[in-house]
Each structure stands twice: as C-alpha cells, then as structure tokens.
C-alpha cells in the first residue's frame, strides 16, 4: 500500500523492521509491482536502491499464465517511460548475473555494434521540444540494449562471419 501511494518516507522504517523489499502479497505482487502500477517513479527508484528485483514476476493466473513483471504492469497502465526504465534495469541486472567471460575484442565489438544501432536511430529529425530531453535517455537505453544483444550473440560465432562484421572488427583494432 505504501508503494502504491508513493510514500517514500515510510519505506526506510518498514525495511528497518526486517520486512524484505521483495515481500509478496497474496497475488505475488511486490512493492515494486504496486509502485509501477500507479506510476510512482520516486518510489520505484527508492525500491530499486533498496535492492528490489526489477525482474520479479507476479503469481500466474488463468488470465495471465506467465505472470507480469513491474515493467509490463507499468506499460499496461500507460507509464511507458517507467516501463522502459524498469525493463532496462531488469536487463542490466540479468546480464550482470551471467558469468560469461568476455575478451577485450568482444567488448569492443559490442560497443561498436551498439554505436551503429544508436547512430542509425538518431539520424532521424526530431523537433526541438521537450521530447529531445528524453531522447538522449532513450538513446542511452537503446545503446545498453544493443550492447547486451551483441554480447549475447557474440559467443555463438556466426556473428563474426561476413564482410561488414570483419570491417567493424578491423575498426576496433585500429582504435
């Protein structure tokens, strides 16, 4: 209830009494799910800073057999920016849990691939208004997602075939 209402001031006393930040209600919703449902951005930030899991899934139901993440709940309720942020946090958290060892070359390849993706998106023309302020953050999220995708695909080996990819790797070696 505290998370849905956005009472950030109440979070610390509750957690200091030993309540787990990922405590689930009868439907499997955590405080992060409730904060996402009502678009409470400051509460979401406070919960994440306290260790809440952005990838937590609600209990499955007959209407929703897979469950919902806080990001999907935020998106369904019209809080698109918050949904994107929560998705990025969940992705970043998941990727950091992977124990894939990367060579310096693969890290560089992922960065180049992400830059190419972001450059192709950012070449579009945008009107000078408040949308440009959030565009920078959106492009940063795209860059992170593209790097993650490149790092996931790189170990399979088939990504490095083809002249375009060889050229990208050659550029990396020059840097």
- Check whether 26 has a pLDDT greater than 60: yes
**Residue 151: C-alpha distances to residues 94, 111, 160, 165 (Å):** 13, 9, 12, 14
Contact 33, 74 (CB under 8 A): no
Based on the fold, state whether residues 64 and 136 are members of the same structural domain: no
Q: Are residues 105 and 88 in the same domain?
A: no
Domain identity same for 48 and 77: yes
Q: 26 near 61, Cβ under 8 Å? A: no
Q: Are residues 105 and 90 in the same domain?
A: no
Nearest 5 degrees, angle CA 167-CA 169-CA 171?
A: 70
Q: How far apart are CA 82 and CA 47, in angstroms?
A: 13
Q: Does residue 87 sit in the same domain as residue 8? A: yes
- Quick one: pLDDT at residue 80? 92
Give the residue from 97, 112, 146 where a domain finishes.
97
Are both 59 and 108 inside the same structural domain?
no
Residues 6+ apart with CB under 8 A from 160: 154, 166, 169
Looking at the chain, the whole-number percentage of residues with pLDDT higher than 70 is 62
Domain extent, residue 172, equals: 100-175
* pLDDT: which is higher, 99 or 42: 42
Q: How many whole angstroms separate alpha carbon 143 and alpha carbon 125? A: 19
Give residue 107's Cα distance to chain centre. Answer: 19
Q: Are residues 93 and 104 in the same domain?
A: no
Q: What separation, in Å, do the N-terminal and C-terminal C-alpha atoms of the chain show? A: 52
Residue 40: burial class (beta carbons within 10 Å; 0-12, 13-18, 19+)? buried
Say if residue 92 is in the same domain as residue 9.
Answer: yes
Based on the domain organization, do 114 and 88 belong to the same domain? no
Which H or E element spans position 52?
none
Confidence of residue 129 (pLDDT cuts 50, 70, 90): low
82 and 167 share one domain? no
- 33, 116: one domain: no
Residues 86, 166, single domain; the answer is no
Give yes or no for residue 160 having a pLDDT over 60. Answer: no
Q: Worst-scoring range by mean pLDDT, 39-53, 76-90, 137-151?
A: 137-151
- If one counts the domains in the chain, the total is 2
């Amino acid at each position: 209830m505290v998370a849905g209402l956005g009472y950030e001031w109440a979070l610390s006393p509750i957690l200091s009494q030993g309540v787990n930040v990922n405590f689930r209600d009868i439907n499997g919703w955590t405080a992060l799910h409730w904060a996402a449902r009502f678009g409470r951005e400051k509460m979401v930030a406070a919960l994440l800073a306290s260790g809440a899991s952005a990838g937590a899934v609600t209990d499955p139901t007959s209407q929703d057999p897979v469950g919902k993440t806080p990001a999907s709940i935020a998106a369904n309720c019209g809080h698109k920016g918050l949904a994107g942020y929560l998705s990025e946090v969940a992705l970043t958290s998941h990727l950091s849990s992977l124990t894939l060892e990367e060579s310096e070359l693969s890290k560089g390849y992922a960065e180049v691939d992400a830059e190419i993706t972001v450059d192709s998106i950012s070449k579009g023309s945008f009107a000078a208004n408040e949308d440009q302020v959030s565009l920078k953050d959106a492009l940063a999220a795209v860059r992170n997602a593209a790097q993650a995708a490149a790092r996931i695909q790189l170990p399979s080996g088939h990504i490095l075939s083809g002249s375009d990819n060889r050229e990208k790797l050659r550029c990396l070696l020059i840097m």
